[in-house]
Amino acid sequence: MRANKGLAGLIAGDTAISKVDVSTSSLWYRGYDINELCEKTSFLEVAYLLLHNDLPNIAQLKSFEEFEKENRDIPDILYDLFKSAPKYGHPMDLLNQSVSILGTVDEKNILGTNSQEENLIKSMLLISKMPTVVANSYRLSQGLKAVKPDKNLSYSENFLSMILGKEVKDSLSVKTFDTSMILYAEHGYNASTFSARVTAATLSDLYSAVSTAIGTLKGPLHGGANEQVMYMLKEIGSADRAEKITLEKIRNKEKIMGFGHRLYRTGDSRTGVMKRLGKELATKFDVSIWHDISDIMEKTMIEKKDIYPNLDFPAASAYYLLGIPIELYTPIFAASRVTGWAAHIIEQHNDNRLIRPSCDYVGPSARNVQSILKR
Ligand SMILES: CC(C)(COP(=O)(O)OP(=O)(O)OC[C@H]1O[C@@H](n2cnc3c(N)ncnc32)[C@H](O)[C@@H]1OP(=O)(O)O)[C@@H](O)C(=O)NCCC(=O)NCCS
C-alpha cells in the first residue's frame, strides 16, 4: 500500500489538548469551544488552560500574569543580534535564532532533563519573552528605536504597544489583537506542532522543539499564509478588480492564500469572530477597502471552487488595520502558537516514544560503483 501524500488522513497520535471537529467545523481547547473562549476569556487565560489542563481561578491567573510581566525582558545579546541583523532578514529567522539563544542562556536547560515542572517554566519564559523579541527584532533591524516592555500594561496592550512604538489602550484594538492570539494558539497536529513533537520525541529540549516549530510555521502553506494574504489584497488594490483577479488565479491554478484547509472542508470555525472584529475596526477607522476586496474574493472562491477562507484571511486585514507591519504577522502567530507547541511538547515528553516513520524506497535498484574515470 502506498503512503498518502502529505500524510493526509493519517492518525499520527493521541492528544488531550484540542479537538478539531470536522463534522461541525468547530475547534475545542481542552473541551471548551473557542468561540466561547474568545467571548469570555483573555489570551493568558487560554495559555494557562493549554498548559495546565483547565482555566485558572482568580489567584492562579494573578500569579500567571505576574510571572509573565516580570519576565518580559530579554538579554542584551538579543538586542545586539537585532541591531546587527540585515534589514532584508525575515523576523521569523530572528525569532528562531532568539529562541535558540534563550535556550542557550537558560542555565536550567540541561540536555536530557525534561520534567513537566521544568518544561512549564521554560514555556512561561517563552510566552513572556517572545513578544519583546518579535517587536524589537523588527524595530532594531529596521533602524527604529527599541521599545522596552511595560509592566503596567496587559499582555496584549504591551505587545501591540511595543510593535507600534506607541502606547495602545484602545479597547477594540486590544480586543481584536487578543482574540487573534486566542484563535492562533492551538490546532491539533498541524505541521509546526507535529514537527515540534518529532523534535521533543528525541528527548531534545523544549527550546529546540519550539525552534523547529518556528521554522515549520514560516512556510506560506502554513503560518506564512497570513503575510501572503495581505500582499495579495494590496496587489489587488481595489474592490472592482477583486473578482477578475480571483478568477484569473483560479484559471491559472494558483493557490490563493488564506483559503483552504487540510481538515476543514466547509469553513474554518475561527474565521467568524475574526472577521466580525476586523469589520468593527474597519468601521471605526473608516477604511472598508480590505473587507470589500475580501468579501468578493470569498464569494468567488466559494461559488467557483467551494473552498472557504481559513483564519489567516480575516486575521491579515485586521492586523493591517491595526497598523502592524506585514512581516510581523507570522511571528505574532508564533508568539501565540508557542502555547500550543509547549502543551504538545509537554504531552510528548510525559508519554514518549521516538517518532520515526518508515518510507517506501522508489529509487534505482542495486548497481555497482564505477571508477570515476568511467562515469
Ligand atoms: C492549506 C492547504 C495547504 C491544504 O492543502 P491540502 O490539504 O494538501 O489540499 P490540496 O492542496 O490537496 O487541495 C485540494 C484541492 O483544492 C485546491 N485548493 C486548495 N487550497 C486552495 C487555494 N488556497 N487556492 C486554490 N485552490 C486550492 C487544490 O488546488 C486542489 O485542487 P485539485 O484537486 O483540483 O488539484 C491548501 O489549502 C493551501 O495551500 N492553502 C493556501 C495557503 C494557506 O492559506 N495556508 C494556511 C492554512 S491554515
* CATH code at position 248: 1.10.230.10
**Statement to judge: residues 270 and 288 lie in one domain:** yes
250 closest CA partner among 182, 323, 303: 303
**Statement to judge: residues 183 and 92 lie in one domain:** yes
Place of cell 486566542: 182
User: Which ligand 1 atom is the nearest neighbour of the CA of 268?
Assistant: 48
Number of domains, the chain? 2
pLDDT at 1: 67
User: How far does residue 75's CA lie from ligand 1's centre (Å)?
Assistant: 41
**Statement to judge: residues 110 and 231 lie in one domain:** no
What whole-number distance in Å separates Cα of residue 360 and Cα of residue 115? 36
pLDDT at 374: 96
DSSP 265: S
What whole-number distance in Å separates Cα of residue 185 and Cα of residue 179? 10
Q: Are strands 26-29 and 32-33 parallel, antiparallel or unpaired?
A: antiparallel
pLDDT at 110: 84
**Statement to judge: residues 217 and 140 lie in one domain:** yes
User: How far does residue 76's CA lie from ligand 1's centre (Å)?
Assistant: 42
pLDDT at 212: 98
**Statement to judge: residues 41 and 174 lie in one domain:** yes
Q: Which cell numbers hold the place of 367?
A: 548497481
**Statement to judge: residues 303 and 341 lie in one domain:** no
310 lines ligand 1 (CB under 6 A): yes
Maximum pairwise Cα distance, the chain: 77
271 lines ligand 1 (CB under 6 A): no
112 located within any domain: yes
261 lines ligand 1 (CB under 6 A): yes
Assess contact for 256 and 297: CB atoms under 8 A: yes
49 located within any domain: yes
**Statement to judge: residues 112 and 205 lie in one domain:** yes
What whole-number distance in Å separates Cα of residue 154 and Cα of residue 174? 9
128 located within any domain: yes
264 located within any domain: yes
Q: Which cell numbers hold the place of 258?
A: 488564506
3 located within any domain: no
Name the domain boundary from 284, 302, 322.
322
13 located within any domain: no
**Statement to judge: residues 315 and 340 lie in one domain:** no
- By CB neighbour count within 10 A (0-12 exposed, 13-18 middle, 19+ buried), where does 242 fall? buried
1 located within any domain: no
**Residue 243 neighbours by CB distance under 10 Å:** 17
51 located within any domain: yes
> Catalytic site residues?
261, 312
User: Which ligand 1 atom is the nearest neighbour of the CA of 260?
Assistant: 37
210 closest CA partner among 18, 344, 94: 344
**CATH (domain of 50):** 1.10.580.10
Chain-centroid distance, C-alpha 243: 29
**Statement to judge: residues 177 and 102 lie in one domain:** yes
Residue 41: strand, helix, or coil: coil
319 lines ligand 1 (CB under 6 A): no
> Could you read off the pLDDT tens digit of each residue along the chain, which spans 375 residues?
677 899 999 999 999 999 999 999 999 999 999 999 999 999 999 999 999 999 999 999 999 999 999 999 999 999 999 999 999 999 999 999 999 999 999 999 988 789 999 999 999 999 999 999 999 999 999 999 999 999 999 999 999 999 999 999 899 999 999 999 999 999 999 999 999 999 999 999 999 999 999 999 999 999 999 999 999 999 999 999 999 999 999 999 999 999 999 999 889 999 999 999 999 999 999 999 999 999 999 999 999 999 999 999 999 999 999 999 999 999 999 999 999 999 999 999 999 999 999 999 999 999 999 999 999
Assess contact for 104 and 163: CB atoms under 8 A: no
Give the number of residues written for the chain: 375
92 closest CA partner among 234, 212, 258, 255: 212
**Statement to judge: residues 248 and 294 lie in one domain:** yes
49 closest CA partner among 337, 277, 343: 343
What whole-number distance in Å separates Cα of residue 333 and Cα of residue 175? 16
Parent domain of 32: 18-221+326-350
**Statement to judge: residues 106 and 254 lie in one domain:** no
DSSP 220: T
Residue nearest to atom 41 of ligand 1 (CA): 257
Chain-centroid distance, C-alpha 289: 26
**Statement to judge: residues 149 and 271 lie in one domain:** no
What whole-number distance in Å separates Cα of residue 329 and Cα of residue 10? 30
228 lines ligand 1 (CB under 6 A): no
- By CB neighbour count within 10 A (0-12 exposed, 13-18 middle, 19+ buried), where does 175 fall? middle
Exposure class string for 247-266: b at 16+ Cβ within 10 A, else e: eebeeeeeebbbbbbebbee
Residue nearest to atom 28 of ligand 1 (CA): 255
Exposure class string for 201-225: b at 16+ Cβ within 10 A, else e: beebbbbbbbbbbbebbbeeebbbb
User: How far does residue 248's CA lie from ligand 1's centre (Å)?
Assistant: 16
Q: Are strands 18-21 and 32-33 parallel, antiparallel or unpaired?
A: unpaired
pLDDT at 3: 78
Please give the helix or strand (H or E) that residue 32 lies within, else none.
strand 32-33
Half-sphere exposure of 224 (CA within 13 A, CB side): 14
Radius of gyration of the chain (CA): 22
Side chain identity, residue 16: A
